[in-house]
Amino acid sequence: MVAYDWVTSLSVGPTGWLLVSSSSPTGESVHVSTSRLTNQMDSRPASQYVVDMATTFCYPGSMIWCSAACPSTTESIFAAGKSNDLLLITGVESYWSTRTVKMSVTADVMAVEWLTPRVVMSGMANSLVQFHDLRSRDTASRLQHPHGVYKIRRVDEWRVVVAGANKNLHMYDLRYAPSGIATRPQPNKRNHASTKPYLSFPDYANERISHDELDISPEIGLLACSSPSNRIQLFSLNTGKLIMPAPFLPYSSLPSTPKPKSSISTHIQEPGCQDGAAQFYQPYPNRHGTPITHYQYPDHISCLRFENLEEVPTANGGGNTGKPSLLVSAGCTIEEWRM
């Protein structure tokens, strides 16, 4: 398998294939690798996966900014943003083919997301969100964000959340007619127009966000993202409002107040940080009862992901509530917050 200098994206599809894109710091060497993940020797859900085989494509002089796996359970398809093109990678058994869709001559594809198994959305640095239909092979500009797009997440068949530069986070309803779309948008100009959002998130605080620093859970109606203060921000997908508990007070100062049930956190230390092996730890003693949005991480939050870990046992042998958990990566620690 390819030795990765700098991993730029990682996606796992429902058919059991992993896609990893990597690049050298100068962009002179860019690789996209597809690998089969198997755990045939162990039927337990928590057993370790291994790479069975790998296919690698090289794109020197380009940059892979993002990738996403098609939600189909019968087809293995990945979409990736390759500089200013959309790259579609399709697998049939162990044979892989690629197709390049020209998106723009002036702006890179910074975000990709599947609306359906046949329609993929591309977020552009010039603020456009373009839709590509795999069947007709047509591409259309459907939305125009106030600034460059860095993340797109599907809420449902009609609604999408778009995060962009300069603290712009909006939800759009695709049932409304397209509006505010220019052929060559210039988001840094004062007269730049944008599509009217269905819902806005006014307390969103990021000037810029990477592909993995925001995620949503339609099941529990939450959006989670990083923040400049290294704290987790939680927003309601129904109102767009920031979810923030009352100012945190030590329980010792409130002896007559019963302790509320708080989010439970366990964390994994990544390989290389502790004797080269991943280990589980109990929550820090001084974090008992601390709301998830109050805890300040010592390092930058590089990734957040909602996952339903209902069938996966925890380190101490217990289960979970069946609700999506929020996985958070900061520095060399990965934590699970149970909602």
User: Do residues 284 and 312 make contact, with C-beta atoms less than 8 angstroms apart?
Assistant: no
Average pLDDT of the segment spanning 247-253: 41
Q: Which has the higher per-residue pLDDT, 41 or 128?
A: 128
Average pLDDT of the segment spanning 317-328: 71
Its pTM stands at 0.81
**Whether 300 and 180 share a structural domain:** no
Banded model confidence at residue 212, pLDDT cuts 50, 70, 90: confident
How far apart (Å, rounded) are the C-alpha atoms in residues 119 and 176?
18
Long-range CB pairs of 157-160 (<8 Å, 24+ gap) are 157/115, 157/116, 159/198, 160/113, 160/115, 160/121, 160/129
Strand, coil or helix: 251: helix
**Whether 47 and 193 share a structural domain:** yes
Q: Give the residue from 209, 237, 261 where a domain finishes.
A: 209
**Whether 43 and 124 share a structural domain:** yes
Q: Which of 51-60, 104-113, 183-192 tops mean pLDDT?
A: 104-113
User: Do residues 204 and 146 make contact, with C-beta atoms less than 8 angstroms apart?
Assistant: no
How far apart (Å, rounded) are the C-alpha atoms in residues 289 and 287?
6
Beta-bridge partners for 81: 66, 86
* HSE value, Cβ hemisphere, 13 Å, CA-based, for 74: 2
Summarize pLDDT for 63-90 with one digit per residue, the tens.
888 999 999 999 999 999 999 999 999 9
**Whether 186 and 77 share a structural domain:** yes
User: Do residues 222 and 236 make contact, with C-beta atoms less than 8 angstroms apart?
Assistant: yes
pLDDT of residue 52: 58
Percent of the chain with pLDDT over 90: 50
CA 313 to chain centre: 24
Average pLDDT of the segment spanning 34-49: 60
* HSE value, Cβ hemisphere, 13 Å, CA-based, for 83: 13
How far apart (Å, rounded) are the C-alpha atoms in residues 34 and 77?
10
pLDDT of residue 247: 54
- Lowest average pLDDT, out of 5-14, 42-51, 104-113, 323-332, goes to 42-51
Average pLDDT of the segment spanning 326-339: 89
pLDDT of residue 7: 83
Average pLDDT of the segment spanning 282-311: 75
How far apart (Å, rounded) are the C-alpha atoms in residues 285 and 293?
17
pLDDT of residue 285: 34
CA 179 to chain centre: 27
Summarize pLDDT for 114-167 with one digit per residue, the tens.
999 999 999 999 999 999 999 999 999 999 999 999 999 999 999 999 999 999
Within a domain: residue 297?
yes
Average pLDDT of the segment spanning 97-112: 92
Within a domain: residue 48?
yes
Alpha-carbon distance values, 142 to 81, 116, 132, 188 (Å): 17, 15, 10, 20
Q: Which has the higher per-residue pLDDT, 285 or 319?
A: 319
Banded model confidence at residue 23, pLDDT cuts 50, 70, 90: confident
**Whether 154 and 126 share a structural domain:** yes
Q: Which residue segment(s) compose the domain that 133 sits in?
A: 7-209
pLDDT of residue 48: 54
Q: Give the residue from 209, 226, 254 where a domain finishes.
A: 209
Answer whether residue 16 shows pLDDT above 80. yes
Both structure tokens of 274: 């502790």
Average pLDDT of the segment spanning 39-45: 52
How far apart (Å, rounded) are the C-alpha atoms in residues 96 and 76?
9
- CATH value at residue 185: 2.130.10.10
pLDDT of residue 112: 97
**Whether 221 and 167 share a structural domain:** no
**Whether 194 and 53 share a structural domain:** yes
Answer whether residue 94 shows pLDDT above 70. yes
Q: Give the residue from 176, 209, 242 where a domain finishes.
A: 209
**Whether 30 and 178 share a structural domain:** yes
Within a domain: residue 1?
no
How far apart (Å, rounded) are the C-alpha atoms in residues 18 and 51?
9
Question: Which of these, 321, 284, 152, 302, lies nearest to 227 by C-alpha position?
Answer: 302
Strand, coil or helix: 69: strand
The secondary element (H helix, E strand) that includes residue 128 is strand 128-133
Answer whether residue 305 shows pLDDT above 80. yes
Answer whether residue 279 shows pLDDT above 50. no
The stretches of the chain forming alpha helices (DSSP H) are: none
> Structurally, how many domains does the chain consist of?
2
